[in-house]
Every structure is written in C-alpha cells, then in structure tokens.
Structure 1
Amino acid sequence: MDIQLMVALVIALALVFDFTNGFHDTANAMATPIATGALKPKTAVLIAAVLNFVGAFLSTEVAKTISGGLIREGEGGIQITPELILAGLIGAIVWNLVTWLLGLPSSSSHALFGGLIGATIVGAGIGAIDGGVVVSKILIPALLAPLTAGLVAFVVTRIAFTITKKRERDGFKKGQIFTSSLVSLAHGTNDAQKTMGVITLTLIAANMQDAGTGPAWWVILVCALAIAAGTYSGGWRIIKTLGRGITDVEPAQGFAAEAATTATILASTHLGFALSTTQVASGSVIGTGIGRKGASVRWRTAGRIALGWLITIPAAGAVGALAAFIASFGLVGVIIDVALAVATILFIFLRSRRSRVDANHFHQPEPGAFVRPKPKKKANR
C-alpha cells in the first residue's frame, strides 16, 4: 500500500478514536452537575465540547510523551510502522466502544496505550517498548492519581459540609458550573493530546516528520475538533454511571469532586503524565461519597469500574496484538483489519439501540430516588 494512503488511513482512524474519547469522557466533567441539576444535560455537553476544544491548544507535553517516549528509536529510526499504529488504534477503539456499551467509565487513555503496546510487541518485539516511560508516565500515575484525587475530594467534602448549613448548600450548584468547566478545559489539555501524539508518531514512522518534534498546528486543530465533536455527542451511558451509579451526589460533593479532578489533571499535564481523566474523576466521586456523612458508596459499581481499570491495558493490548498479526500479511491484512473494525463498530452501535440512554433520561429521577415534595399551596380563605 502506498505510504501516503496508509498514513491517511491511520490519521482517519486516530480521529475516530479521538471522537470516541470525547463521548466516552464527557462524564468526567459533566456527570455530577447533571446529576445535581446544576446544568441541563445538553447545555452541559455543549460547554464541555467548547472547553475541550480550547484546552487542546494549551499544552503539548503529553503528546510528546506518546510521540517521542513510549516507542524506542532503533538504528533505522522509530521501531513502529503506520500499520502497527493502525492496529493499536483498532484495539483502543474497540475497547472504548465495549466499555461505553456497558456504561463503564474505563480509561480511553489506557485503551490507547494498551492497543499500541500490544501491536508493537507483535510487530517489533517487546524491546521496542520503553519500559521506563510506561512505568513512570503511565502506570505510576494510574495508581496515584485516583487515590490523590479521591483524598482531596474527601477532605474538601468534609470541609464543605462542616462549614455550611443545609439550606446554604444549594449555592454550590453555581460553583459546579465553574468547576465542571475547569475539568472540561483540563480534559482538553490532556486527552486531546494523546491523539495528537499518535498522529505525530505516525508521521515520524513514515519519515514525514523529524523525530523529537512536537505536533504540527494542523494536527492540533483536527484533534481539537474531533474530541469536541465527540464530547458534544454525549456519552450518556457513562454519565449515568458516574453521576448516579456510584453515590448520590449533592451540589457540595459535585463541587468537591470537580475541584479535585481539575487540580490533579492540570498538575499531571504540566509534568507530561498521560493521565486517565476517567480514573481521576471516578476516584473523586468515590472520595465525596466517603466524605459526606450519611452518604453511601455503591461498592459493587465501584468494583466493576476498578476491574475495568485493571483489564483495560491487557484487553486493548490483546485486540491490538491480533490486529497487528493480521496486518502482517500486507495489504490484504490491513483491509481485513479495517473491515473487521467497521463491522465491530456497527454491531456495537446497533446493540446499543436496544437499551438507548440519551439526554431525556436525566430529566426524570432514578427509580427509588428521593424527590423533594413541592410545597402545598395555601387555600384561600
């Protein structure tokens, strides 16, 4: 296959991943303000989309981690080909869509890393993976970030409920608009860059860009547009899980969770850590559930989420490795890979239509949820 056509195919698939990343991770910023009524569902996703777009232009440190750190350079240049990057993207997209179908807030970032690692091991050997970067920039943040965010959210929640009276706590709804907007901005600075890094890695592997350079301006622009479009499409299944499935969220808790999530993501972006914003947001929500007296955390749901975290890298890696094996047969293999990916995407989409979740779902309370009674009108005498 002509190298330029192959690169174009990889870029197209990378933008598909970026789109899935957007709707998969909308919940990170907007699940709690939607759950508390601070923002209407469609208004929330519009704000998130705009700020994801803006955030994508604010930093490129994470993109450099992926394009110049994850895969080693050998004597002949970087040890990965566009075909292997294509296979890695297929692994990431498939796992993203499977977890979306299940309403499971797993990590789009780790799906991408798993897919790339699995494909690279099959195509170039395990030695092509820089283990130091994997440990320091991916695995350690994966362990520390949700714990840190959860602890911060726990402390802020305790403080908020201690220093305010019950009738004053609805004021946190206005604060949620600000903090959830910050999470969306922070998400754009971290997650949009991952696709920028993949596209830049592809251009370097195809000798269309010098090794060690960052993403071009047009790469930043198209990635920003793709993640913003995905964010605006919703991702309502995961919003339902994160906003209502882990714990019953009050405005003060939502404010605390979003503040903790923002601080953690921005600090990690500055350090070039390719962080999972989903893990951070989930850790923050759990922290608020523990921090509010009388609240309860649904540990069964939290356990499902944690299991998803554990298997994301190996699961996406397995799909990426299989796709890389198929791609090793040349043009025919690449065509088979793309055909299977399209068929899988269509199957998951059609399967999701059987139990549709959309914005209208959030206009009604969950079955069994407490609904504040409306005050009775006094009878005229």
Structure 2
Amino acid sequence: MELVLVVVVVALALGFDYTNGFHDAANAIATSVSTRALTPRAALLMAAFFNLVGALLGTEVATTIAEEIIDIGSVDAHEALVVVLAALVGAITWNLITWRLGLPSSSTHAIIGGLTGAGLASGVTVFWTSIWDKVVLPMVFSPIIGFFGAFAVMVGVLWLFRNAAPAKTFRRFRIAQTASAAGMALGHGLQDAQKTMGVILLALVAGGYHPDDGDIPLWVKISAATAISLGTYSGGWRIMRTLGRRIIELDPARGFVAETVSAVVLYVNAFALHAPVSTTHTITSAVMGVGATKRVSAVRWGVAKSIGAAWVMTIPAAALVAAVMYWILWPILR
C-alpha cells in the first residue's frame, strides 16, 4: 500500500509542478510580451528552457520544504504519505482556482499552506519558528524590497537616460529584456521547481525509499525540472494579461528593471537565505514599483488590491482545503 501511495504522491507532485509552470509562466515573460520585446511563443520557449536550467542549479529550497515545514517522522509511514497527498490536493486546488480567476497568486505559499494545513489536521509537528523565518518574513519583505528596489532602480535609469532619444533607448531595452526575462525564468526554476523536489523527497523518505539525510536523487531533479518546463510552455495567458497589462502599461525600460530586480531577489533568497519566496509576489510588486515612477495613479491599485487579497488568502485557503482532504482521505486510506 505504501508503494502505491508513494507513486500517487510523486505523480500528483509532478502534476502540481505542471500547474505551477502554467500558473506562473507569466512571472517570467509577461513584461517582455507586453512590451513586445518577445513574441508570446518565443517567450514561452525561452522561459521553459531557463526554468529547466534553473531547476537543476541547487537544492537548498527543496531541503527547506522537505525538512523545515512539518515533521512527518512523528507519524508512521502510511499516515505521513496521506498527509503529503492531502497537502498536494490543497495546493493544486488553490492554483486552479486562482488561475481560473486570472489572479497571480503564489504557488509557493499554496504548497506551504497545504503542508501546514494537512500537518495540523493530522497532528504532526509543524515547525512554526522555521515557517516564520523562512516563509512569513520573506513573504512580507520580498515584495517590499521588490517594490522599492524597482522604484529606486527605475528612478536611476530615468535620470541616466534623461537626455537620450526615447525611440532608440526603448529599442535597446527591448533587446536587454531578452536577458532579463531569461534571468527571471532561471530564478523561477531555481525557486519553484525545487519546492516540488522537496515534496517528492518528503514522500520518498516517508515511504522508506530514501534516507533522511540523503541527497536529492537525480531523477527527482530531472522530473521536477521537466514538469515545470512543460507547464510553462503550455502557457498561462489569463495571468499574463493581468501581470503584463492590467496593473500598469509597461514600456521596455520598466519591464527590464522589474525583471532584473525580481531575479536578484529570487537568487539572494535561494542561494543565501534558502528561503522559498514567491516569484509571483516579487515580480508583481516590482511591476508596481516601476509603474509608480510614472505617477502613483498610473498603477491600477484596484487590480493590485485584488491580487493582494489573493496573496493573503493563499496560505489559509490552501491549508483549509488540505485539512479537509486529510479528514476525508485518512478514514478511507488508513
């Protein structure tokens, strides 16, 4: 029975990874597409490739997800697998709801909310200190840094190019956006694919198919990287429209700055802090930051308010669905 559950959990985790790809594809390419720096198809191909590369660059975030959210070692293998299964259902459900509504919510916080909710429902130990340090604080500060960092850099760019010909400058920034979009896609793979690796590792450890202190198997890295890349290539047009056009009408310079600042925030959190931050929150706040340099009213704050509501709701909503799924699944599968 454990083997069957492990297979189901791994398959569902890769399904979550796929939904993460099409849900968050807009993170990497919406700004480039909206400024016409890249065509939608070329942008998707590039984002899929760099998601794949980014997913193979490290394992720090995956380790955080696998070891520092809940303690599945406090229950037997069978129940631990049901906990992870319920967490995935909660995360996928919230991803699909927000995708249908066109809201760029966080897949990162969906899976963390799912793990927390299923953990609470099952009575396993939840590492609240780690969640505070590695999830809550980055969740608060990454968007703030993204907003004010993008605002400050954009002010600098405007001053630096204040006497340049607009048409020629915009052409150059369109070219530069190819690099910044690639950097953003790399950061997305580095962050989001690793979260799926962490969930699969949880399942393998729970089922007794991997040691607690073992390295992440190569097949887990490759399968997670491939799933998120395929999901990215399948698109995510609803969210792309929200991020690329409904918040602010972007020009190439602002698109380049938003992507560059967001990528830096993702790299610092992945490599230095090992924190699973939201690519969605980071790029959205950066887009608002560069937009605010036009004038405060240029940002469509009503749309931003709807996005903010989705951000706040993500962890508790995914946690609630995961908890309900655990209460349904455990009597059936025990």
Question: The residue matched to 2:331 in structure 1 has which SS?
Answer: coil
Aligned to 2:33: 34
Taking structure 2 as the reference length, the TM-score comes to 0.95
* Mapped partners of 1:121, 1:78: distance in 2: 17
CA distance in 2, matches of 1:152, 1:265: 13
Q: Which has the higher contact order (CA 8 A, sep 6+)?
A: 2
Aligned partners of 1:33 and 1:39 also within 8 Å = yes
Q: In the aligned structure 2, how far is the partner of 1:268 from the partner of 1:225?
A: 23
Question: What's the CA shift string for 1:177-218, capped at 9, x where partnerless?
Answer: 100000001111111000000000011111111113332110
Amino acid at match of 1:152: G
Residue type at the aligned position of 1:92: A
Number of equivalenced pairs: 329
The list of structure 1 runs, each at least 4 consecutive aligned residues, that deviate by more than 3 angstroms after superposition, is: 73-80
CA contact (8 A) 1:247 1:286 kept: yes
Q: What residue is the counterpart of 1:96 in the other structure?
A: 95
What is the CA-CA distance between 1:280 and the residue it aligns to? 0.3
Matches within 5 A, 1:256-271: 256-270=257-271, 271=273
Structure-2 separation of matches of 1:197 and 1:294: 40
Q: Deviation per CA, 1:222-241, whole angstroms, max 9, x where unpaired?
A: 00000000000010100000
Amino acid across the alignment from 1:195: T
**Residues 168 and 52 (structure 1), Cα distance of their counterparts in 2 relative to 1, 3 Å cut:** same
Distance in 2, matches of 1:96 and 1:257, equals: 24
- 2:320 equivalent among 318, 321, 335: 318
Structure 2 equivalent of residue 152 of structure 1 = 149
CA shift in 2, pair 1:294/1:117, >3 Å: closer
Gap regions ≥5 residues in structure 1: 334-381
Cα separation, partners in 2 of 1:75 and 1:7, compared to 1, 3 Å: closer
Deviation at 1:150, TM superposition (A): 1.1
Q: Distance in 1 between matches of 2:324 and 2:32?
A: 40
CA pair 38-9 structure 1, distance change in 2 beyond 3 A: same
After superposition, the C-alpha distances for 1:103-134 in whole angstroms (9 at most, x for unaligned) are 00000010111111111111124xx1001110
Higher share of residues assigned helix: 2
Deviation, structure 1 residue 147: 0.7
CA distance in 1, matches of 2:79, 2:274: 22
Q: Structure 2 counterpart of 1:88, which letter?
A: A
Residue type matched to 2:132 in 1? V
CA distance in 2, matches of 1:274, 1:159: 29
Show the counterpart of 1:245. Answer: 246
What is residue 69 of structure 1 aligned with on the other side?
A: 68
Q: Distance in 2 between matches of 1:79 and 1:213?
A: 20
User: Aligned AA for 1:214?
Assistant: D
Report deviation, 1:167: 3.0
Match of 2:217 in 1: 216
Within a 5 Å distance, the mapping from 1:1-381 to structure 2 comes to 2-72=1-71, 74=73, 81-125=80-124, 128-164=125-161, 165=164, 166-170=166-170, 171-270=172-271, 271-293=273-295, 296-331=298-333
Q: Which amino acid aligns with 1:119?
A: A
Aligned-partner Cα distance in 1 for 2:251–2:232: 24
Equivalent residue for 1:363? none
| Unaligned stretches of 5+ residues in structure 2 | none
Q: Conserved in 2, the CA contact under 8 Å of 1:157 and 1:292?
A: no
Q: Which amino acid aligns with 1:281?
A: I
Kindly indicate whether the alpha-carbon contact (under 8 Å) linking 1:199 and 1:219 is maintained by their aligned counterparts in 2: yes
Distance 1:79 1:169 in 2: 60
Work out whether residues 72 and 78 of structure 1, in 8 Å CA contact, stay in contact via their aligned partners in 2.
no
The percentage of counterpart residues that share the same residue type is 41
Alpha carbons 1:22, 1:227 under 8 Å: kept:
yes
Over residues 271-297 of structure 1, what are the superposed CA-to-partner deviations in whole Å (9 max), with x where a residue is unaligned?
210110000010100000112358700
Distance 1:19 1:80 in 2: 25
8 Å Cα contact 2:77/2:208 also seen in 1: no
- Separation (CA, whole Å) in 2 of partners of 1:239 and 1:18: 18
**Cα distance in 2, alignment partners of residues 158 and 176 from structure 1:** 18
Measured in 2, the distance between the counterparts of 1:161 and 1:169 equals: 11
The SS at the match of 1:330 is helix
Q: Is the 8 A contact 2:173 2:252 kept in 1?
A: yes
Cα offset, 1:168, TM superposition: 3.4
Aligned counterparts of 2:201 and 2:20: Cα–Cα separation in 1: 18
Distance across 1 between alignment mates of 2:113 and 2:313:
10
Q: Is the 8 A contact 2:37 2:175 kept in 1?
A: yes
2:25–2:236 contact (8 Å) kept in structure 1: yes
Sort the Cα spacing of 1:169 and 1:78 in 2 relative to 1 into closer, same or farther, 3 A: farther
Matching residue's letter, 1:203: L
Query: Over aligned residues, Cα RMSD in angstroms?
Result: 1.6
